Amino acid sequence: MGEKPAFFDEMRHPEGSARQPYAQYCEWVESVETNDLRKKSREAEKFFRRTGITFNVYGGKEADERLIPFDLVPRIIDGREWRLLARGIEQRVKAINSFLHDIYHRQEILKAGRIPEHLISQNAAFLPQMIGVTPPGGVYTHIVGTDLVRTGADEFFVLEDNARTPSGVSYMLENRETMLKMFPELFSRIKVQPVGNYPTLLRRSLSKCAPTHCVGRPTVAVLTPGLHNSAYFEHAFLADQMGAELVEGHDLRVVDGRVAMRTTQGYQPVDVLYRRIDDDYIDPLNFNRDSLLGVPGIMDVYRAGGITLANAPGTGIADDKAIYSYMPEIVEFYTGQAAILKNVPTYRCSQPDTLKYVLEHLDELVVKEVHGSGGYGMLVGPAASKRELAAFRAKLEANPSNYIAQPTLALSTVPVLTRAGLAPRHVDLRPYVLVSPDSIDITPGGLTRVAMKAGSLVVNSSQGGGTKDTWVLEE
Partner 1 sequence: MLGKTAGGLFWLSRFLERSENTARLVEAGFRMALTRAASGEDEWASVLTTVGCRDAYLARHETVTPHNAVDYLLRDKTNPMSVYSVMRMARDNARATRTALTREVWEAVNDGWMLLQDMLKRPVPQTELPVVLSSIRQQGAVVRGALQGTMLRNDIFDFSGMGSLIERADNTARILDVKYYVLLPTGAPVGSSLDNVQWEMILRSASAERSFHWLNPGNANPKAIAEFLILDARMPRSLAFCYDGLISCLTHLEKDYGDRRPSHDLAARLEAGLTGRSIDDILNSGLHEFIREFLRDNAAIASQIETDYRFYE
Q: Which residues bind partner 1 (CB under 8 A)?
A: 49-52, 227, 232, 236-237, 239-240, 244-248, 250-251, 261-266
Q: How far is the CB of 460 from partner 1 (least distance, A)?
A: 24
Closer by beta carbon to partner 1, 261 or else 457: 261
Q: How far is the CB of 438 from partner 1 (least distance, A)?
A: 29
Closer by beta carbon to partner 1, 240 or else 397: 240
Q: How far is the CB of 173 from partner 1 (least distance, A)?
A: 14
Closer by beta carbon to partner 1, 155 or else 240: 240
Closer by beta carbon to partner 1, 52 or else 382: 52
Q: Which residues contact 281 (CB under 8 A, 6 or more apart)?
A: 225, 287, 288, 291, 293, 294
Q: How far is the CB of 65 from partner 1 (least distance, A)?
A: 10
Closer by beta carbon to partner 1, 50 or else 419: 50
Closer by beta carbon to partner 1, 196 or else 372: 196
Q: How far is the CB of 50 from partner 1 (least distance, A)?
A: 5
**In sequence order, what are the beta bridge partners of 347?**
405
Beta pairing class for 413-418 and 421-430:
antiparallel
Q: How far is the CB of 31 from partner 1 (least distance, A)?
A: 33
Q: How far is the CB of 238 from partner 1 (least distance, A)?
A: 9
Closer by beta carbon to partner 1, 251 or else 388: 251
Closer by beta carbon to partner 1, 163 or else 307: 307
Q: How far is the CB of 444 from partner 1 (least distance, A)?
A: 25
Q: How far is the CB of 270 from partner 1 (least distance, A)?
A: 11
Closer by beta carbon to partner 1, 109 or else 246: 246
Closer by beta carbon to partner 1, 12 or else 235: 235
Q: How far is the CB of 453 from partner 1 (least distance, A)?
A: 28
SS (H, E, C) the chain: CCCCCCCCECCECCCCCECHHHHHHHHHHHHCCHHHHHHHHHHHHHHHHHHCCCEEECCCCCCEEECCCEEEEEEEECHHHHHHHHHHHHHHHHHHHHHHHHHCCCCHHHHCCCCCCHHHHCCCCCCHHHCCCCCHHHCCCCEEEEEEEEEECCEEEEEEEECCCCCCHHHHHHHHHHHHHHCHHHHHHCCECCCCCHHHHHHHHHHHCCCCCCCCCCCEEEECCCCCCCCHHHHHHHHHHHCCEEECHHHEEEECCEEEEEECCEEEECCEEEECCCHHHHCCCCCCCCCCCCCCCHHHHHHCCCCEEECCCCCHHHHCHHHHCCHHHHHHHHHCCCCCCEECCCEECCCHHHHHHHHHCHHHEEEEECCCCCCCCCEEHHHCCHHHHHHHHHHHHHCHHHEEEEECCCCCEEEEEECCEEEEEEEEEECEEEEECCEEEECCCCEEEECCCCCCCCCCHHHCCEEEEEEEECC
